[in-house]
Amino acid sequence: VFGALIVVVFSFVATYNRLVAAAENATRAWNDLDVLLRQRHDEIPKIVEMCEPHMPHDRALLDKLLETRAAVFAARQTRDPDTLSRAEQSLRKAAAELVIVRAASIPELAASPAFGLVTQRHGTLDLELAAARDRYNAAVRSYNARLSGLPGRVVALLGAFPPLRTLDFEPSGT
């Protein structure tokens, strides 16, 4: 009986430690994603600033991009994957409309080396964000898999380990 109790306690402790490690991995992946979101957050005003002189008639589009940027910032603060996914989709759509559709139709803006560099950086950040999102989602799936089996399910209930949600947004192609 004493041996069985030792095995149960050891199993509980080992499972708890694996859940803590998986939760830390998901947190680390979220933080990596957040760093990239902050970097892109800082790039949006540069794009708007370069477009303003060439697009005075499209002020509403520029304002929309800044508003969606603010929504992503607010969603980052909530750390809610669903809210962040919706805000990201809106930002990607607004950025694509500005950079691919509108700005590309203005020859002097499209030919500007500075605009090319800023939009290239924005596109690179999009790709890095997609990779970071994939790493976060993999960490979440691993963590949730540990929660779903035994003794993980019991340890999760006793240790207050809630399931996590994945992020769902695609690169905009900018």
Residues 108-163 have pLDDT tens digits of: 888 888 888 888 888 899 899 999 999 999 999 999 999 988 888 888 888 888 99
Q: What share of residues in the chain are helix, strand, coil (percent, to 5)? A: 85, 0, 15
Residues 3-58 have pLDDT tens digits of: 888 988 898 889 899 999 999 999 999 999 999 999 988 888 888 888 888 888 88
| Secondary structure of residue 131 in the 3-state scheme | helix
Of 97, 101, 167, whose CA–CA distance to 139 is shortest? 167
Rounded to whole angstroms, how far apart are CA atoms 28 and 10?
27
